[in-house]
Structure 1
Amino acid sequence: MSDSRVDADISDSSPGESTAPPDDRHDDDQSPGFSGGDDVYASEVEGKQYRGTWYLPLRYDDLTESPETEEYPEQGTGGSFRLTDLPRVPRVGHVVGPSAIMLGASLGSGETLFWPVLTAQFGWMVFWAFIIGVFTQFVINTELQRWTLATGESIFRAFARVGTYWPWAFLVGGLVSLGWPGWAAGAAQVGTTALGLSGSVGVFGFSIATWKLIAVGLMAAIWLSYQTSSVMYNAVEVFQIGLLFVAIGATLMLVAVTGSWVEFANVPDAAQAVGELPEGIDIAVFLGGLAFAGAGGYLNLSQSLWMREKGYGMGNYQGRVKNPLRGDDPEPIERDGFTFRPTVTNLRRWRGWWRVVQLEHFLTFVVGLLVVAPALMSVAIRYAPGTTTDAIQMWLGNVVPVLGPVGSFLVFAILFVALFTTEYAIVESFVRNSADALYEAYGREAGWDLPKLFWRLLTAFCLWGVVIILVFTSPFEGREPFFFLVVGAAMSGVMMWPYTALVLVMNTTRLPEHIQPGWGRVVAMWWATGFYGYFSVLLIGTTLSRLGLSAFETAPSILGSGVGGYALWAAYLLVQGYTVGKSAAGKRDAAGTVADADEATGWFS
């Protein structure tokens, strides 16, 4: 195998362009320094390699193993990392992709369903929670990227270094939260309504609802799209970005056509409601909205894997998941990844990479959400105030009938594309996360092949979705799509609590000083664990109470909870106390242990 190779597949990169590996120099005197830029920032030619995906293989076994000192990540239950230099830093425009997929995952959940229906019911008085949710997820998502950026390992490999049970735990949580094809079902329901195809058709002697057949077709289309690229990630990125342009453009046109922009004048009045929950709000829907003020739950964990596939930071030296049907050469995902010596040049590169990662996520994910979601909320507030229906029925039954042909067409287009985009991202996220979790927890030692495992899980998950869509019947008949969504969203919100706490503890106790999050981020993550933990306990207590276990009722003010409810709140405070204490101790113990660490660190680094 050669020392360097590029396979950009679907990209603007050319295999003929420079593929020079990072420097092998470790003497700071040989570096031209930050001001020169040559040793810190990538050239235009080098940066363009990231527009597709960039994999730069090294002779792994020939690299020096990292010592167990305070200058390198803690090995935990795994082996030692291999030493090499951090790649030079590309421009933000060269690395856009992972956050676009995350935005696509968000559009069909919180942005078109949960938050529009919540604001239609309660007005802008709940808008504060959406804003807080978006910025909280910004911090969580970028912290999920930290380990991979620094080592090239996935977040699941990082979890396995803490305890081999963690990948299994999140795998189960992912199946419970994302194992329901609610977004494909919702897109199909929108499609059948728009085309006037409601009712049933006979298939092999069975009467099957038309929306179910369309939903099955969408699942098949997702599976087939993966076969268009030799690198599985590339197909997702290209299709998702294309669908995003359609959804965002249609949303802005809808606001202009309906005149709903006038509703934004009432946003300032909602400031007085910050921190308050309206009476009668459904906690499951509200927690689902908080989880999906962005992507949410199991979906967020994909940020780590997508950046490895893209080639961010030390992920540049890890292989990508290839399509096993294409017959391409496999690319190894090294079990014990890479790390870099804390030279001045590498520290400056780390600081540059961290800025690029945050900026890419902010400009794509945060700005995208703040444009699309409030726009759709304004339409819902204007045309469906006080609605008592679920989100899909609100759009189809309350909003569409009072709009003209153009407005109705745009609503149908936005809902269909947004729901399909989210289902696409969910299939991608669930399969990629689960394949990696299984591989790191068991499959690697068993001799499994990661690309084949990915492909088999993709096929199995799509077939599972088809079966659930076709056989599901219950007292919720006629509301199946949104029922699927509420179940998945609520579970996603609960799932975010433990992994946010785990990621914070891991990043402050197992990473060296120059790679650790700054104090501003540590405090933000304390907030995130408290935020999702609080609403998770509320949901758990409310759910148990509705099941007849009234002793577990949890009151929003804590006081007034049942005996079991107080036990739940005590568990919450115990977890929060441990998270705060452990992460603060990790920051304290690491202070001053790495020379020149201030080249890479900062208050919000």
Structure 2
Amino acid sequence: MSMSDGDADPGAGDGSPSDPSTTETSAGGDHSATETADTREWEDANRSLDDHPTGGDDVYASEVEGKQYRGTWYLPLRYEDLDEAPESEEYPDQGTGGSFRVADLPRVPRVGHVVGPSAIMLGASLGSGETLFWPVLTSQFGWTLFWAFLVGILTQFVINTELQRWTLATGESIFRAFARVGTYWPWLFLFGGLISLGWPGWAAGAAQVATVGLGFSGTVEVLGFAVSSWKLIAAALMGVIWLSYQMSSVMYNAVEVFQIGLLFVAIGAALMLVAVTGSWVEFGSIPDAAGSVGTLPESLDIALFLGGLAFAGAGGYLNLSQSLWMREKGYGMGNYQGRVKNPLRGDDPEPIERDGFTFRPTVTNLRRWRGWWKVVQLEHLLTFVVGLLLVAPALMSVAIHYSPGETTDAIQMWLGGIAPMVGPVGTFLVFAILFVALFTTEYAIVESFVRNSADALYESFGREAGWDLPKLFWRLLTAFCLWGLIIIFAFTSPFEGREPFFFLVVGAAMSGIMMWPYTALVLVMNTTRLPEHVQPGWARVAAMWWASGFYGYFSVLLMGTTLVELGFPVFDTAPTILGSNPGGYVLWVGFLLVQGYTVGRSAVGKHQSSNTVPGADEAKGRFS
């Protein structure tokens, strides 16, 4: 929906940028461009402060205003008319980019109004760690590794919300932030993303589940060629994903609606499976595993374990999408940045401004920042973390109860080991959970890879070359889906060996390795390039030190193990560090240098910014 243009400078004063008296406003969602009754209602509500929950302190959004976020919200400003932020301690460091434009931080909506980005992230998690990696790990080792799952979730909670910080404060994507540090960073993560997510293993896995569940095994003749039925199903799923994007003028909206709907099915079915099978009795053994906290079994496959750590949540390249999804949703300063529109729907494009926005550290803006940061954390906690804690332990208990032993292929464990043992209703639920979980993950992976890669290419090269971001997104979407079809039809058979799960393990391990450098980079960036009032607090800095060390440690172990398997025993790495071979010590020294730089640089950045912005404490809240 569109709003009429305001006459005042949208960046001036302490007024709300969503108030027609101070801002040129335009609200989005997938709505008509003509003024509606809802538009008039919104304008009337915002002419008065009586609707604010605080009684008119101009910090929190009214109920009507907050509801605009449910369909994604975009408030275009007259970008060229806004003041440029000076290079001072009160504004973000420009780095290699241009100056930020000054505008007020939007009023703070309620958590229920902005649910979406974390729901998509949860959908990306269901078909990886929560359905495959952790159930197969617990089937082998019981609850002795459950501590690592909990640590992985809490660590990713911190990482994901720190990935959101730059976008909340400036409206810019994380890839634009990386490009301000060095234009090579988006290219490096794009390469890592292709290796980790460039294989449609989840679509192949979902097709395998559907083939077995529906009894469609064998081949089908297509244009005179015998084609495995699972390939046709996998191809159809990729087609459904591509077509779904054409249903909305805003690309993000289609993904959010599909993912939230599928999540309700997956979570409900998982809880029903536990009740039907009686596997809930396995939860009584969790306290007995407390003594294993911090230890790893000797026979543990380090690649599988690192994949599990990366996918105790979404992991790797997927996590970087949090920044872009929140920009699309309209969080904080992302409210002004525009959204990726479907170039085939005929709607007016929305500019993704190059250099983003920042806000003056006035009392009102600082209080709004504190409110926004609370909302961001609660949305991720209540959606992502709670969702994982509902689904993953439920499926782990089923795996422990019905498939204890040395299973290494998760899909075969569910289809060949568990499904035949849980009765008709349980079997149906197993197939439903697997199919929906794998499909939601493939959907999220297509979305994440395309959105991240489009933004990375655009910020590192395409913008200067005059490319159009929505067209780039649509072309990459089409190309990635076609690439998926090529890989699917290149498989010989999903039942020979463990091909689908093999690709998942490779991709997951690469995701875990990728999390090490970007966790360190994000921490350094947030403590040295953001002003004091929007920087992470010391508790979060310490948590990010842990996160960087956590993923760095296991990445070194995996790199050493992989090099040994490739015929280079000199790189053998011991978990205790001592006892490694010479090449292994080189890897450990590299890890310690990176970790030392990360800790030292971020600590110095925090110290140097201390007491540089008057009143910065107004922006601080719990775990800020």
The bucket for the TM-score relative to the shorter chain is: over 0.9
Among 453, 468, 475, the residue aligned to 1:434:
453
* 1:21 positional shift: 12
* 1:322 positional shift: 0.3
Q: 5 Å matches for 1:451-470? A: 451-470=470-489
Report what 1:175 is aligned to: 194
- What secondary structure does 1:349 align onto? helix
Verify the 8 A CA contact 1:191 1:416 in the aligned structure 2: yes
2:99 is the alignment partner of 1:80: yes
Report what 1:18 is aligned to: 42
Farther off after superposition, 160-169 or 196-205: 196-205
Among 23, 26, 30, the residue aligned to 1:9:
30
- What secondary structure does 1:100 align onto? helix
Report what 1:300 is aligned to: 319
2:401 is the alignment partner of 1:382: yes
Paired letter, 1:148: T
Identity percentage over the alignment?
81
Structure 1: distance between partners of 2:494 and 2:593: 39
2:219 is the alignment partner of 1:200: yes
Structure 2: distance between partners of 1:17 and 1:416: 43
Report what 2:242 is aligned to: 223
Q: Residue 84 and residue 178 in structure 1: after superposition, are their counterparts in 2 closer, same or farther (change >3 A)?
A: same
Among 69, 72, 88, the residue aligned to 1:50:
69
Q: 5 Å matches for 1:313-352? A: 313-352=332-371
Paired letter, 2:26: R
CA RMSD of aligned residues (A): 2.1
Q: 5 Å matches for 1:29-428? A: 36-428=55-447
* 1:504 positional shift: 0.1
Verify the 8 A CA contact 2:204 2:494 in the aligned structure 1: no
Cα deviation per residue 1:303-337 (whole Å; 9 max; x = unaligned)?
00000000000000011000000010000000000
Verify the 8 A CA contact 2:52 2:62 in the aligned structure 1: no
Structure 2: distance between partners of 1:10 and 1:296: 33
Among 578, 600, 603, the residue aligned to 1:559:
578
- What secondary structure does 2:533 align onto? coil
Structure 1: distance between partners of 2:37 and 2:540: 35
- What secondary structure does 1:219 align onto? helix
Report what 2:557 is aligned to: 538
Verify the 8 A CA contact 1:173 1:495 in the aligned structure 2: yes
Structure 2: distance between partners of 1:17 and 1:110: 44
Q: Residue 575 and residue 474 in structure 1: after superposition, are their counterparts in 2 closer, same or farther (change >3 A)?
A: farther
Structure 2: distance between partners of 1:233 and 1:21: 27
Structure 1: distance between partners of 2:99 and 2:68: 29
- What secondary structure does 2:42 align onto? coil
Structure 2: distance between partners of 1:95 and 1:175: 30
- What secondary structure does 2:532 align onto? coil
Q: Residue 279 and residue 37 in structure 1: after superposition, are their counterparts in 2 closer, same or farther (change >3 A)?
A: farther
Farther off after superposition, 425-434 or 273-282: 273-282
* 1:202 positional shift: 2.8
Q: Residue 245 and residue 14 in structure 1: after superposition, are their counterparts in 2 closer, same or farther (change >3 A)?
A: farther
Verify the 8 A CA contact 1:541 1:554 in the aligned structure 2: yes
Report what 1:27 is aligned to: none
Q: Residue 335 and residue 575 in structure 1: after superposition, are their counterparts in 2 closer, same or farther (change >3 A)?
A: same
Structure 2: distance between partners of 1:252 and 1:507: 39
Q: Residue 34 and residue 70 in structure 1: after superposition, are their counterparts in 2 closer, same or farther (change >3 A)?
A: farther
Cα deviation per residue 1:386-407 (whole Å; 9 max; x = unaligned)?
1424000000011011110000
Among 491, 513, 517, the residue aligned to 2:536:
517
Structure 2: distance between partners of 1:15 and 1:338: 25
- What secondary structure does 2:220 align onto? strand
Give the paired residue count.
Answer: 599
Verify the 8 A CA contact 1:21 1:56 in the aligned structure 2: no
Report what 1:576 is aligned to: 595
Report what 2:18 is aligned to: none
Structure 2: distance between partners of 1:475 and 1:462: 19
| Structure 2 unaligned regions, length at least 5 | 6-23
* 1:484 positional shift: 1.2
- What secondary structure does 1:324 align onto? coil
Structure 1: distance between partners of 2:608 and 2:194: 38
Q: Residue 109 and residue 172 in structure 1: after superposition, are their counterparts in 2 closer, same or farther (change >3 A)?
A: same
Structure 1: distance between partners of 2:536 and 2:270: 36
- What secondary structure does 2:536 align onto? coil
Paired letter, 2:131: T
Farther off after superposition, 130-139 or 547-556: 547-556
Report what 1:471 is aligned to: 490
Structure-2-length-normalised TM-score:
0.93
Verify the 8 A CA contact 1:13 1:48 in the aligned structure 2: no
Verify the 8 A CA contact 1:10 1:235 in the aligned structure 2: no
Structure 2: distance between partners of 1:502 and 1:14: 43
Paired letter, 2:563: L
Structure 1: distance between partners of 2:612 and 2:431: 57
Structure-1-length-normalised TM-score:
0.96
Report what 1:26 is aligned to: none
Structure 1: distance between partners of 2:52 and 2:116: 30
* 1:33 positional shift: 12
Verify the 8 A CA contact 2:153 2:312 in the aligned structure 1: yes
Runs of 4+ residues over 6 Å off in structure 1 = 10-13, 20-23
Paired letter, 2:25: S
Cα deviation per residue 1:127-160 (whole Å; 9 max; x = unaligned)?
0000000000000000000000000000000000
Q: Residue 44 and residue 96 in structure 1: after superposition, are their counterparts in 2 closer, same or farther (change >3 A)?
A: same
| Structure 1 unaligned regions, length at least 5 | 24-29
* 1:181 positional shift: 0.3
Structure 2: distance between partners of 1:317 and 1:228: 24
Verify the 8 A CA contact 1:8 1:15 in the aligned structure 2: no
* 1:483 positional shift: 1.0
Verify the 8 A CA contact 2:45 2:64 in the aligned structure 1: no
Verify the 8 A CA contact 2:553 2:591 in the aligned structure 1: yes
Structure 1: distance between partners of 2:353 and 2:335: 12
